[in-house]
């Protein structure tokens, strides 16, 4: 905008937004009012003293089409088609919905009016900031009828007053940018709680992705009312408010742990014997499990917000949470895990790591193999429980789960390669050859990821399919992968 077009500017402390808008309405001005406060900017386009468009910058803009799908007003394929055709412009998108008779013109006008009123209501509470009015109209998409400023201000002031009435803890924690998500512990039918339709709608939209502002926008419900409902849902322990700073820290900590484990996994692939390879996997799995336990001792939900928690209490919490799962695994599938124990909040695998002092040869390899399968299964259990507790079914949780699955795929690959080796050895035995002789170097390189034969090859049989790999085991082999064990490893 040209400097000479600016006909008025000033400080919000001197002249508030309400007074500015009234003055522009009375004088019938045409132009654009820019209001800045911190990172946020409001651009209000006026024509003859009436509001014809508004744009809000500095805050994330919600995807209205996506939210209409969440409240069953639109189906995803239609929403995607409109999104692509409108280029992400909300006003154009709403106009297209009207053209295709998927929304009435009256509802479009109501939604555009509500969005403008909501933004102005928020800006009315700004104390710090500046404003400037430019005589030339900034062209914004205009798909609605012009709005009378007095009517908009009346409703915006009413909504602003609702925020003032809330006050206290609710207003502190439930700002318009607050994001809430369902608590994973909720299993009962919420309809039995006698919640009204408004409460159920807000609860359904508290999915860990949408801020309070977006929920208010799609429901066309004042933000303060949404905050009141959320406060009640918090009391009922149906939702929780997401601490975005804490989740960023939590996500980074887990990502670093996964990277360390991946690096260790790539290094141990140079092992020269099956025993060394399996022992390396046992070591990595144990370190990864303990890394997750250390992480959870810091970020577990029940340990947060309490300042310094005594180490003994953290230890008791971790053992109470995970020791029973370890015992079930040891009794039902992997007896070798009975030799492990929790000590100081960590899994002590010393008895497995020092087995070579008591057992040699084939028996040692079989013990290591069972330990790999058991620890891999326990690792999955620990991560699943940790993720459910710390971030639940949220955007952060889904991102972490994707990274985690990529790491587990590498672990599974190492396990499958060892199964190929075992199949080769069983084949040798079946043909009456001495299975105690060292395997050919090509097979050894193959199962440790070397440059020998192509992976998943067995001499004389060609490449193995995934189904064959999953079923590789010799007759009578107590530590082969039976069907129940394969399912536990997926």
Question: Does residue 446 carry a pLDDT above 60?
Answer: no
Which two tokens mark 379? 């690792």
Return the minimum-mean-pLDDT range out of 114-128, 188-202, 333-347. Answer: 188-202
CA-atom Rg of the chain in angstroms? 31
Residue range 282-298: average pLDDT?
92
Q: Is the pLDDT of residue 33 over 70?
A: yes
Question: How far apart are alpha carbons 132 and 183 in whole angstroms?
Answer: 45
Measure CA 35 to chain center. Answer: 34
Model-wide pTM > 0.75: no
Distance CA 192, CA 453 (A): 62
**C-alpha–C-alpha distance, residues 58 and 62, integer Å:** 12
The pLDDT of residue 81 is above 60: yes
Average pLDDT over residues 459-464: 37
pLDDT at 458 > cutoff 70: no
Mean pLDDT on 174-180: 84
Mean pLDDT along residues 327-331: 91
Average pLDDT in the chain? 80
Report whether pLDDT(479) > 50: no
Who contacts 304 (Cβ-Cβ below 8 Å, separation ≥6)?
A: 246
At residue 26, does pLDDT exceed 50? yes
Which residues 6+ apart lie within 8 Å of 410 measured at CB?
Answer: 262, 265
Say yes or no to pLDDT of 443 above 70: no
**What order of strands is seen across the sheet that includes strand 40-47?**
6-11, 130-134, 31-37, 40-47, 50-57, 147-148
**For residues 342 and 313, what is the distance between their CA atoms, to the nearest angstrom?**
14
Where in the chain are the domains?
Answer: 3-166, 169-241, 244-489
Q: Which pLDDT band holds residue 187 (cuts at 50, 70, 90)?
A: low
Most confident of 311-325, 396-410, 453-467: 311-325
Q: Which residues, 6+ apart, have CB-to-CB distance to 385 below 8 Å?
A: 321, 322, 325
- Contact, 170 vs 231, CB < 8 A? yes
Q: Is the dihedral of CA 85, 89, 114, 224 positive or negative?
A: positive
Reduce the DSSP state of residue 241 to 3 states and report it.
Answer: strand
Q: Which long-range contacts (CB under 8 A, 24 or more apart) does 450-453 make?
A: 450/269
């Amino acid at each position: 905008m040209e400097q000479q077009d600016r006909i008025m500017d000033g400080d919000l402390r001197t002249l508030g937004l309400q007074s500015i808008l009234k003055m522009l309405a009375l004088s019938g001005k045409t132009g654009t009012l820019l209001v800045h406060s911190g990172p946020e900017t409001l651009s209000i386009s006026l024509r003859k003293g009436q509001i014809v468009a508004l744009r809000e910058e500095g805050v994330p803009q919600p995807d209205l089409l996506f939210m209409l799908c969440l409240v069953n007003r639109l189906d995803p394929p239609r929403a995607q088609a409109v999104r692509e055709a409108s280029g992400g412009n909300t006003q154009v998108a709403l106009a297209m919905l009207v053209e295709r008779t998927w929304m009435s013109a009256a509802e479009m006008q109501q939604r555009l009016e509500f969005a403008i009123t909501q933004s102005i209501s928020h800006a009315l509470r700004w104390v710090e900031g500046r404003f400037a009015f430019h005589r030339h109209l900034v062209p914004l998409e205009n798909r609605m009828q012009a709005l009378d400023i007095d009517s908009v201000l009346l409703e915006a002031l009413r909504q602003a007053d609702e925020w003032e009435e809330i006050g206290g803890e609710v207003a502190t924690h439930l700002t318009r940018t607050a994001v809430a998500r369902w608590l994973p512990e909720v299993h009962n039918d919420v309809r039995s709680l006698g919640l009204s339709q408004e409460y159920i709608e807000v609860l359904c939209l508290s999915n860990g992705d949408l801020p309070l502002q977006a929920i208010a926008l799609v429901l066309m419900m004042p933000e303060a009312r949404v905050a009141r409902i959320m406060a009640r849902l918090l009391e009922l322990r149906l939702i929780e408010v997401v601490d975005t700073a804490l989740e960023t820290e939590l996500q980074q900590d887990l990502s670093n742990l996964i990277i360390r484990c991946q690096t260790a996994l790539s290094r141990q692939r140079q092992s020269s014997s099956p025993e060394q390879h399996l022992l390396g996997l046992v070591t990595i799995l144990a370190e990864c499990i303990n890394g997750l336990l250390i992480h959870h001792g810091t970020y577990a939900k029940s340990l947060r917000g309490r300042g310094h928690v005594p180490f003994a209490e953290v230890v008791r919490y971790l053992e109470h949470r995970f020791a029973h799962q370890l015992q079930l695994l040891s009794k039902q599938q992997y007896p070798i895990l009975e030799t492990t124990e929790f000590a100081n909040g960590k899994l002590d695998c010393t008895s497995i790591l020092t087995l070579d002092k008591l057992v040699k040869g084939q028996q040692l390899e079989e013990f290591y193999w069972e330990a790999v399968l058991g620890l891999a299964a326990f690792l999955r259990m620990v991560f699943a429980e940790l993720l459910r507790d710390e971030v639940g079914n949220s955007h952060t949780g889904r991102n972490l789960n994707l990274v985690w699955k990529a790491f587990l795929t590498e672990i599974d690959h190492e396990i499958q390669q060892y199964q190929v080796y075992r199949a080769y050895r069983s084949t040798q035995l079946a043909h009456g050859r001495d299975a105690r002789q060292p395997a050919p170097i090509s097979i050894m390189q193959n199962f440790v990821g070397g440059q020998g034969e192509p992976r998943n090859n067995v001499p004389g049989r060609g490449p193995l399919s995934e189904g064959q790999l999953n079923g590789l085991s010799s007759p009578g082999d107590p530590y082969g992968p039976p069907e129940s064990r394969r399912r536990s490893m997926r």
